[in-house]
Amino acid sequence: MYNKRYLYKPTIRTYVINLNHHHFTLMNLIQKSSSFACLHFMALFCASSLISGALIDSGLTGTTSLNGWEGLNNSYYDAVTHGGGYPGAAAWTNPMVANEGEADAQLMKVSGTAYPASSSLYTSGGAVLSLSDLSALTDLETIVFSIAIAPGTGGGVVTGPSLTLNGSTLIGAATTTWDLGSTSATIGGFEVTQTTYSYQWDLSGFGSTIHDFDLRFETGEHAQTYAMQLDQGDTYSLASPNAIPEPSSLVLFSLALWALFFSKRLVKTK
């Protein structure tokens, strides 16, 4: 079992933190490198990080497990088997298995239109989604589900999430819900605002062994889901989820432009 409490995602911030830890800065790295490929990669990397799923620290105690979907896009998941591309009306032939932590929970489309686009799971006409774990944590007492989503014209999470245990016992809505804040950026000429929500269920009084569970929720028309995280704990206490903030979009965009400009100058001088 993993005891990791947050979803790890290697964004540009992670690299800056690691470089600072070793007494380097981004400028040092660029000055020490004459590789056009390295600079071009850094530029693309910065640009692709303008909006991404939030990193969640659930604050759960006791023994915990984590499943994370760090990038719900076609870089991680094949659009052909998950909706067939735009508009995503085709049935999913495979689930989207978590790509962080335990990696045993899975996401499936129940109905509607949804497919992994270039930056997010795009529900062009709205969709009902199912997130399930067939091997729940031993002595499970609490679940925390977190989602980073940009609402479309039909809203973000418009129904649910609703929890069902052991295939048939409906628990329903979460005990506690948090709005962890929003970040914005301009993507393709459109202003996109991503909000992170966390939902917790208190299962300490359930009275029976929990073998598996299913979470169902509906996303609105044109909603874009960037990341999800599922935390389980064997000790119920009120969670204290925190969306660890990303660097500002302006800083990342400036870095991207600067790196591209520098790389072109480097080519001209060769």
Q: What is the mean pLDDT of each run of 10 residues along the chain (270 residues)?
A: 40 31 38 46 43 67 94 94 95 95 95 95 97 97 96 94 98 97 80 92 97 98 95 96 60 53 57
Spatial separation of the C-alpha atoms in residues 105 and 143, rounded to whole Å: 13
Residue 12 lies in a domain: no
**Eight-state DSSP code of residue 129:** E
Q: Which domain holds residue 202?
A: 52-244
Within a domain: 140: yes
Q: How far apart are CA 13 and CA 15, in angstroms?
A: 5
Domain for residue 240, yes or no? Answer: yes
pLDDT of residue 63: 97
Tell me whether residue 30 is in a domain. Answer: no
170 is a domain residue: yes
**How many beta carbons lie within 10 A of that of residue 199, not counting itself?**
23
Q: How far apart are the first and last CA of the chain?
A: 52
Q: Which two tokens stand for residue 85?
A: 């591309």
pLDDT at position 244, please?
Answer: 63
Q: Is residue 201 part of a domain?
A: yes
Predicted pLDDT of residue 4: 41
Give the span between the Cα atoms of 223 and 123, in whole angstroms.
Answer: 5
Distance, CA of 62 to CA of 3 (rounded, Å): 9
Q: Residues 144, 50: contact at Cβ < 8 Å?
A: no
pLDDT at 236: 97
Residue 80 domain-assigned?
yes
Q: Please, which residues have CB within 8 angstroms of residue 22's CB and are 6 or more apart in sequence?
A: none
- Please tell me the total count of domains within the chain: 1
> How far apart (Å, rounded) are the C-alpha atoms in residues 4 and 66?
7
Predicted local confidence at residue 206, as pLDDT:
97
Cα 61 to Cα 68: distance, rounded to the nearest angstrom: 18
pLDDT of 191 reads 81
Omega of the bond prior to 161 within 30 degrees of 0, cis?
Answer: yes
Backbone phi and psi for residue 56, each to the nearest 5 degrees, phi listed first: -110, 130
Whether the Cβ atoms of residue 66 and residue 231 lie closer than 8 Å to each other: yes
How far is the C-alpha of 104 from the C-alpha of 88, rounded, in Å?
24
What is the model's pLDDT at position 30?
Answer: 40
Round to whole Å and give the CA distance between 104 and 192. 31
Determine the pLDDT at residue 256.
52
Q: What is the pTM of this model?
A: 0.73
* Structure confidence at residue 243 (pLDDT): 74
The whole-number pLDDT of residue 16 equals 30
The answer to whether residues 177 and 197 touch, using CB atoms and an 8 Å cutoff, is: yes
Structure confidence at residue 204 (pLDDT): 97
Q: How many CB atoms lie within 10 A of CB 249?
A: 17
Q: Which is nearest to 114 in space by CA: 103, 123, 101?
A: 123
- Count the neighbouring beta carbons within 10 Å of the beta carbon of residue 21: 8
State the pLDDT at residue 122: 97
Whether residue 265 is contained in a domain is answered as no
pLDDT given for residue 141 in this prediction: 98
- DSSP reduced 3-state for 160: strand
Joined together, the tokens standing for residue 168 give: 């048939």
